[in-house]
Structure 1
Amino acid sequence: MRYQQSDPDVRLMLRVRDDDAGAFEELVRRYEPRLVRLMQTIGPSRELAEDLTQETFLRVYRARKRYEPGAKFSTWLFTIAGNVARNSARSVSRRQEVNEVDAPRNPAATSNAQLLAHTAMEASGLMPTRLAEGEERAEIVRMAVSSLSERQRMALMLSRFENMSYADIAKAMDLTPKAVKSLLSRARVNLKEVIQPYMESGTIPKEVQ
């Protein structure tokens, strides 16, 4: 009852449970761009991100009769999205993953990567003056984000773009809030280790040279 009263998306999902097609279309409209953005950061391919987003909504629809509002709708949805992303990662061979990394970048994925990388700089108190512009910056940022594990990327996305609390991220990722805090801390440290040498001295990691 608590979430039903406070979360309009929970109320929409309850209508979906009652086979209201319009309510489902409204949830898709509200969350599709956000899910695509999340999936692009985990595996930056627009086509794959859209496929995984559709799979997520398909699972939501199939689960509608079992839905119970035990959390905010977004937390429940991102839990399903995380499961879809992990299943996809397990089914893709290492060679396919390498090909994906080497594929041409799309602007949305690059933009997400830049914002995630900037999270590390905010934590350090340093301004990324050496990352002001250019292809070199894009490569440094791409490398910094690719250094993160899938779980670190997802946790940063949920924190940075969805403004989710440690508790909500923990529910979405099946972790404890303490584990989420540690995961985010390690992610920021990893980003900073790649970016800071370039900021301070112009040193470019070997992978970018």
Structure 2
Amino acid sequence: MPAISESSTRLSVLDPDVALMLSVRDGSPEAFAQLMELHQDRLLGVLVNWSGNRQEAEDLAQEVFLRVYQTRQRYRAKARFNTWLYTIASNLLRNHRRNSRLRHAASLPASESGPFGAVRSLYQGAPVEMAPADRVQREEVAETVRLAVAGLQERQRLAVLLNKFEDMSYLQIAEVMGMTEKGVKSLLARARSNLRDTLGPLLDRSAKLKDHES
């Protein structure tokens, strides 16, 4: 069993998921099941919104967790667990794109709730009761935003998804995507600019992106 370093101990206190992954490394199937339960929906949501194809996203999500399990004995707690998880996902995305050369779908699947409709969080707060006409209007806005995000260049789209869905800082996104922190800031700035160009007044009114700098 690998020794637990002081840095691993600190991270496991700050991030309970690191403690779970250390238990996975030490042979706990229960800890692995718990990690999957905690992260599979959000991971799948990011992948669905990246690829535009649910089946493809499910296959990729399964491959990500398979890699987590296969590499468990080599795990070293050097970053927050979700940073490590999405680094694996990002590498698989790049390999998938290079190997399959598939273009993502022009639109993203809609969903009333859950991670598959998570792009709504770009403009929508907590669910509220509303009249049917207002609900239809909001769903139309949601679809417009989904299409705008789907139209972003792939790296811009991934950065936006990590920033919004995983609440990742510039530094965490940089680690996941193999970029500098400055590069991530520039990437997100271009993504915001492209979304504003696409959505115009709708984005300014309803979909102001919030960056998480810490």
**Shorter-chain TM-score range:** 0.7 to 0.9
The residue number in structure 1 matching 2:165 is 161
Note the aligned Cα RMSD (angstroms): 2.5
C-alpha deviations, 1:90-123, integer Å up to 9, x for none? 23345xx36x336x8332677333434x39xxxx
Cα gap change, 1:71 to 1:185, in 2 (>3 Å) = same
Which residue of 106, 110, 113 maps to 1:106?
110
Segments of 5+ residues of structure 1 without an aligned counterpart are: 120-131, 201-209
TM-score (norm 2): 0.76
* Counterpart code for 1:8: P
Identity %: 44
Alpha-carbon distance between aligned partners in 1 of 2:160 and 2:38, rounded to the nearest angstrom: 21
Aligned residues: 183
- Following superposition, the deviation at residue 28 of structure 1 comes to 0.5
Q: Does the 8 A contact of 1:113 with 1:142 survive in 2?
A: yes
Q: Give the match's secondary structure for 1:151.
A: helix
Q: Does the 8 A contact of 1:13 with 1:23 survive in 2?
A: yes
Structure 2 residue 67 is matched with structure 1 residue 59: yes
Cα gap change, 1:4 to 1:140, in 2 (>3 Å) = closer
Alpha-carbon distance between aligned partners in 1 of 2:177 and 2:77, rounded to the nearest angstrom: 17
Q: Does the 8 A contact of 2:21 with 2:31 survive in 1?
A: yes
Q: Does the 8 A contact of 2:87 with 2:177 survive in 1?
A: yes
Alpha-carbon distance between aligned partners in 2 of 1:165 and 1:138, rounded to the nearest angstrom: 25
C-alpha deviations, 1:9-63, integer Å up to 9, x for none? 1111111111111111110000000100010111122211111111000001111
Q: Which runs of 4+ in 1 moved over 4 A?
A: 197-200
Q: Give the match's secondary structure for 1:133.
A: helix
Cα gap change, 1:197 to 1:165, in 2 (>3 Å) = closer
The residue number in structure 2 matching 1:171 is 175
Alpha-carbon distance between aligned partners in 2 of 1:15 and 1:110, rounded to the nearest angstrom: 30
Which residue of 69, 72, 81 maps to 2:77?
69
1:126-145 → structure 2 map (5 Å cutoff): 133=137, 137=141, 140-145=144-149
Alpha-carbon distance between aligned partners in 2 of 1:198 and 1:15, rounded to the nearest angstrom: 47
